[in-house]
Amino acid sequence: MTAPTPSGAAGALRAALSAEYAAIWAYGPIGVRLTGAARNAAREAEAAHRRRRDGLIVQLSAGGGSVPPDRAGYTLPFPVTDPAGALRLAVEVEERTAAFWRAVVPVTTGVDRDRALAALVEYALRATRWRRTAGMTPLTVPFPGRST
């Protein structure tokens, strides 16, 4: 997934759908490297991305817009060979997918904006939980408008 550069609400939603496809695909390599509660969390995350994908497909189809197709595969940003790599990828997947939803917020209104905000919050929280599971340093991002 690359940084989103969509035009308008429909373009941003199509880009978010493509990000959902990639997130679902990435949870395959993630899940096979995890066990116990972490594996269950990966299954739940994949299911959440599938639900959001399905909702977007219905929304874009009902609106008469084009629905981008899923690809046969996606390139991971790094090899996933152990649980630590799987957890690191899970963090990255959630953060990258959240970035696509963040791009939807300023170009939508009403229900579409509410859905984008819900996705953004959900994925930010999930990335934080994955960071905690991995024992990673918390991400420190200043509140918008603050310099520190």
6-16, pLDDT tens digit by residue? 579 999 999 99
As given in the structure block, the two tokens for residue 127 are 């990335």
Per-residue pLDDT of 20-78, as tens digits, reads 999 999 999 999 999 999 999 999 999 999 999 999 999 999 978 889 999 999 999 99
Please report the sign of the dihedral spanned by the C-alpha atoms of residue 31, residue 37, residue 43, residue 46: negative
Whole-number pLDDT of residue 3: 46
Whole-number pLDDT of residue 136: 85
Q: Is 147 exposed, middle or buried (0-12, 13-18, 19+ CB in 10 A)?
A: exposed
Residue with tokens 């603050």: 146
Q: Are 74 and 26 in contact (CB under 8 A)?
A: yes
Domains and CATH numbers, the chain: 8-134 (1.20.1260.10)
Residue with tokens 């918008």: 144
- The pTM is what? 0.88
